[in-house]
Structure 1
Amino acid sequence: MKFLTLTIAAASIFLASCGGTDSTSNQATSETTETQTEELAVESPAVAALAANNQISITGNDLMKYSDTLFKVKAGEVVTLKMSNVGKLPKSSMGHNFVLLKSNVDVANFATEAMSAQDTDYIPASLVNSIIEHTKLLGPGESDEITFTINNPGSHNFLCSFPGHYGVMKGRIIAE
């Protein structure tokens, strides 16, 4: 009996020392981490090591992942991007696209609006002016190629606007 009591007491102390955070603290940590990630994207060694390349090839798959999430391009020059869906699941449940947003566009707000834009392949008409360029929504084995120019140096978010995908299917293009 003493062993059981001791085990329960030890487990209680262990659990109290491990968890016990409230949602406010988790939210703050999440926001801090996301903000730090955004700031690091432009100044990180990974970005510094990237060579600018205005010919981009990217894929999306059934695991809701892009093949690459960070690109560097030359500002003021034409960029050609080819997007391919290499997955096998149907477009209706696992379609993918590439949507490049103008700087300072709220990605979460854009993705929320996009969820209700099924008739326009999840490109919300109300936010078309927030987009630099986008591919069509792609089913398995489909590809699309787009061209665009980012005139001003800086960082631009891209995402898949299919409902629920933007949380993991997102990245950045740095124009220098």
Structure 2
Amino acid sequence: MKINIFVLLIISTLSLEPYAAECDQIIEGNDALQFNSKAMTVSAGCETITVTLKHTGQLPANIMGHNWVLTKSSDFMPVAQAGGGAGLENDYVPQNDSRVIAYSKIIGGGETTTVSFSTADLSKSESYTFFCSFPGHYAIMQGSLSVID
């Protein structure tokens, strides 16, 4: 009986680990205009999501910069298009735009950046798109973010 309880405790502890891992996401962008993932999944149980973007290329930020921007999928295209006018000094993200849920700064080759944001306004029933807002990159560098139990 003691062994069964011990085994159940170990199994229940192990089953929590994937949910903890879903609160922290790592994604890479390169000089070929590619993210290494087209989809991210986060747990609804996370209070905060942290996304780490690694630029694995070599080109500088003003030539081939990348960032990570999150919007509702319905807001993706208008926000991405408005980003070009915001300029590099604003990370190609329209400032004070309520449609932008989270974004990282623009980085160049060999650099890493992190953005953390609250999940309070995320919904399991909503569709979300992440993308790079550097001009023209959003057409290729995009993916989906899903919220699960």
TM-score normalised by L of structure 2? 0.76
Structure 1 segments of 4 or more deviating over 2 A?
A: none
Please give the secondary structure, in 1, of the residue aligned with 2:144.
strand
For these two proteins, the number of residue pairs brought into alignment is 124
Query: Alpha-carbon deviation of 1:76?
Result: 4.7
Please give the secondary structure, in 2, of the residue aligned with 1:147.
strand
Q: Which residue does the alignment assign to 2:35?
A: 66
- Structure number with greater Rg is 1
Please give the secondary structure, in 1, of the residue aligned with 2:98.
helix
Please give the secondary structure, in 1, of the residue aligned with 2:59.
coil
Q: Which residue does the alignment assign to 1:92?
A: 62
Query: Alpha-carbon deviation of 1:103?
Result: 4.9
Q: Is 2:127 the partner of 1:158?
A: no
- CA–CA distance in 2 between the matches of 1:125 and 1:145? 18
Q: Which residue does the alignment assign to 2:117?
A: 148
Equivalent position amino acid for 1:155 in 2: S
> Larger % of strand: which?
2
Which of 51, 61, 66 pairs up with 1:81?
51
Unaligned runs of at least 5 residues, structure 1: 1-50
Q: Which residue does the alignment assign to 1:129?
A: 98
Please give the secondary structure, in 1, of the residue aligned with 2:62.
helix
- CA–CA distance in 2 between the matches of 1:156 and 1:67? 18
Bigger relative contact order (CA 8 A; separation at least 6): 2
Q: Name the Cα RMSD after superposition.
A: 1.7
Partners of 2:79 and 2:100 within 8 A in 1 = no
TM-score normalised by L of structure 1? 0.65
Partners of 1:61 and 1:87 within 8 A in 2 = yes
* Identity among equivalent pairs (%): 33
Distance 1:148 1:76, change over 3 A: farther
Q: How does 1:1-176 map to 2 (within 5 A)?
A: 53-77=22-46, 78-105=48-75, 107-118=76-87, 119-125=89-95, 128-150=97-119, 151-153=122-124, 154-176=126-148
Query: Alpha-carbon deviation of 1:102?
Result: 3.2
